[in-house]
Amino acid sequence: MPPAEPYTPLQRSVLIMVLLNAFSVPVMLSSVNVALPAIAEDLSLSALTLSWIPTAFLMASAMFILIFGRLADMFGRKKVFLLGAAAVVLASLLASVANSAAVLITARFLQGFGAAMLYATQLAIVSSVFPVATRGRVIGLVISVIYFGLASGPLLGGFVVDQLGWRANFLLQIPIAVLVLFVGVFKVKGEWAAEERGTFDFTGAITYCFAIFVICLGVSFLPRQYSYLIIAAGLIGVVVFFQQAKSRKHPICDVMLFFTNRVFTCSCLASFIIYSATFMNVVLLSLYLQYLKGLSATSAGIIMMIQPITMAVFSPLMGKMSEHTEPRILASAGMAITAAGLVLLGLMNSNSAISTVVIALIVTGLGFSLFSSPNVNAIMSSVDKKQLGAAAAAVATTRILGQMTSMVLVTLLVALNLGTAQIEPSSYPMLERAISSSFFLAAALCLPGVFLSVARGRVHALE
């Protein structure tokens, strides 16, 4: 195999900008989870209200990611990317001074709003600058750095919470975000957009945002009976959005890809499933380790690093392998291994040894790394160059919707087991039951994911 060609100055600058962002946003996302017990104590939050701190971020990201993906294709991906980096900085400053649950949840929503701009453009910029021959390894590198950010967040966040309090936790990523802005403004020359700007689909944008909002509103009322009707109404809204988008010349999401491209469709659905199954880990493990095992935020953060570190180590290797080995083989095996790790987590109780947790996290991390990079490469390689923006938005959207679904499931199971009670020693058995049932449900979700991953068909034959 000939050695890879050296990167051009533009490619190096873009890679630095994207990698810095790929590290800082996950730090912001994962460091908050280890701070949840401290936030709950300081602001006297119930378990149900506490679950809205991560959910608000995901709701905003899910609501706006398609919109920003389309705007980026119309007006420039770098512009939207840099606006997102600036918005995250401002929202993080607001979160650090929040004095109530309402203000903090609003700040988290605004963080998600800014992050949606970054999610919608990050892979599209990379795919615009790097050719197909090297795209797999670059995507693997980006995903690896994302996981290093996820790994560093709990450790850095735990240390900051123990030493400075939870408010300082929201300031962790700001210096890196400022550096991202500097590199993007002064070092990354040029802009990337769709060849045909087209028009913006306001009707589709409003329908989609409203549908996601209604689904999340229904979640906030769980487990009341009418909450399921509200969620169903939101899902109907998603169906209406798909039907509208099919008839638009320039929709905010090219939904026809889902009807005409089997590799794209199965890969996106598999991605949605694995994120639905695994994102809950970060929240549940924080609660398990700090409440049921009595560990400090720092100690919990160290243990929570294990899964993302495993993912960071193996993701570049798997991304490179996917350039020559069919992604469906790698990703399907990864989904199955992830399910096994989730079963191990579901078997834990308050008396389980920490070594059991460590083994389960290594297994889950290995499975996810085997799935993630090959799956993303399959999605980005299954479309034409003019569809890269739509494909990148789909990658980010399925991830965010999966993460949001994961938190919906956690919220439901916590509500069914604890209701509106605060987490205290008398409610620990109910918390343990909620955590265990969540992990078993997550493992079961992976089974249709394996089928979809296998059914996607060949990728390299398309090139």
Using DSSP's 3-state secondary structure scheme, residue 129 falls into helix
Residue 44 has pLDDT above 90, yes or no: no
- Residue 346 belongs to a domain with what CATH number? 1.20.1250.20
Mean pLDDT of 248-252: 85
Q: What is the pTM of this model?
A: 0.78
Domain shared by 299 and 361, yes or no: yes
For 56-86, the pLDDT digits (tens) are 898 898 899 889 988 988 889 999 999 999 9
- pLDDT: which is higher, 368 or 456: 368
Contact (CB, 8 A) for 93 and 231: no
Q: Residue 74 has what pLDDT?
A: 87
pLDDT bin (cut points 50, 70, 90) of residue 461 is low
Mean of the pLDDT values across residues 187-193? 85
Question: What average pLDDT score do residues 189-217 get?
Answer: 87
Asked if residue 3 has pLDDT above 70, the reply is no
Retrieve residue 429's tokens. Answer: 């058995």
Q: Alpha-carbon distance 267 to 455, whole Å?
A: 9
Residue 223: cis peptide before it, omega within 30 degrees of 0: yes
Indicate if 132 and 211 belong to the same structural domain: no
Q: Which of the pair, 405 or 90, is modelled with greater confidence?
A: 90
- Average of per-residue pLDDT across 89-101: 94
Alpha-carbon span 26 to 153, nearest angstrom: 7
Residue 9: per-residue pLDDT: 87
Whether 303 and 354 have beta carbons less than 8 Å apart is answered as yes
Could you tell me the end-to-end alpha-carbon distance of the chain, in angstroms, rounded to an integer?
A: 18
Rounded to whole angstroms, how far apart are CA atoms 309 and 258? 33
Instruction: Report the alpha-carbon distance of residue 400 to residue 122 in Å, rounded.
Output: 14
Please identify, among 218, 236, 251, the residue that sits at the C-terminal boundary of a domain. Answer: 251
The answer to whether residue 57 is domain-embedded is yes
**Arithmetic mean of pLDDT, 145-163:** 85
404 located within any domain: yes
Query: What are the pLDDT digits (tens) for 409-422?
Result: 887 888 788 876 77
Does pLDDT of 379 surpass 70? yes
- Per-residue confidence (pLDDT) for residue 1, from 0 to 100: 37
Nearest by Cα to 443 from 308, 301, 347 = 347
Task: Report angle CA 65, 66, 70 to the nearest 5 degrees.
Answer: 120
**Residue % of the chain over a pLDDT of 90:** 39
Instruction: Say yes or no: 409 and 363 in one domain.
Output: yes
Those residues with Cβ within 8 angstroms of residue 254's Cβ, 6 or more apart along the chain or in another chain: 245, 387, 390
pLDDT at 227: 85
Three-class SS of residue 328? Answer: helix
Evaluate whether residue 48 is within a structural domain. Answer: yes
Q: How many structural domains is the chain composed of? A: 2
**Does 441 reside within a domain?**
yes
The H or E element containing residue 14 is helix 9-34
DSSP assigned state of 289 = I
319 and 176 within one domain: yes
**Nearest alpha carbon to residue 159 among 35, 2, 1:** 35
Q: Are residues 324 and 231 in the same domain?
A: no
Please identify, among 251, 266, 289, the residue that sits at the C-terminal boundary of a domain: 251
Residues 434 and 441: their CA atoms lie apart, in Å, by 11
Mean pLDDT of 175-199: 87
The model's pLDDT over 12-33, given as tens digits with 9 standing for 90+, comes to 999 999 999 999 998 888 888 8
Tokens 């994962």 belong to residue: 30
Would you say residue 459 has pLDDT above 70?
no
Q: Phi-psi region for residue 436, left (φ > 0), alpha (ψ -120 to 50) or beta?
A: alpha
Has residue 320 got a pLDDT over 80? Answer: no
Is 236 among the domain residues? yes
Q: Specify if 148 maps to a domain.
A: yes
What tokens appear for 170 in the block?
A: 């929201």
Residue pLDDT, tens place only, 333-367: 999 999 999 999 999 999 999 999 999 999 999 99
**The residue type at 354:** I
Identity of the residue numbered 66: L
pLDDT of 124 over the 60 cut: yes
Q: What is the dihedral of CA 31, 34, 40, 41, to 10 degrees?
A: -120
**C-alpha to C-alpha distances, 82 to 91, 175, 177, 347, nearest whole angstrom:** 14, 15, 10, 44
Q: What integer pLDDT is reported at residue 318 of this predicted model?
A: 79
Nearest to 371 by CA among 403, 339, 408: 339
Q: What does the alpha-carbon distance between residue 137 and residue 141 come to, in Å, rounded to a whole number?
A: 6
Residue 4 belongs to some domain of the structure: no
Return the DSSP state at 187: T
* Pair 122, 239 in one domain: no
Please indicate, yes or no, whether residues 63 and 82 belong to a single structural domain of this protein: yes
Q: Are residues 147 and 236 in the same domain?
A: no
42 and 152 both lie in a single domain: yes
In sequence order, the 6+-apart residues with CB closer than 8 A to the CB of 157 are: 27, 30, 31, 32, 33, 34, 35, 169, 172, 297, 301
Q: What is the mean pLDDT of the chain?
A: 86
Q: Do 354 and 379 reside in the same domain of the chain?
A: yes
**Per-residue pLDDT for 263 more than 70?**
yes
pLDDT band at 51 (very low <50, low <70, confident <90, very high): confident
Q: Are residues 326 and 216 in the same domain?
A: no
267 and 152 in one domain?
Answer: yes
Residue-range definition of the domain harbouring residue 88: 9-190+252-462
317 and 70 Cβ atoms separated by less than 8 Å: no
Q: What is the mean pLDDT of residues 186-212?
A: 88
What does the buried/exposed string (b/e) look like for 131-163 if buried means 16 or more CB atoms within 10 Å of the residue's CB?
Answer: eeeebbbbbbbbbbbbbbbbbbbbbbbbbbbee
Residue 195 lies in a domain: no
Taking 60 as the threshold, does the pLDDT of residue 293 lie above it? yes
Q: Could you give the CA distance from residue 330 to residue 373 in angstroms, rounded to a whole number?
A: 9
In this predicted structure, the answer to whether residue 235 has a pLDDT above a threshold of 60 is yes
Instruction: Please check whether residue 342 is in contact with residue 443, taking contact to mean a CB–CB distance below 8 angstroms.
Output: yes
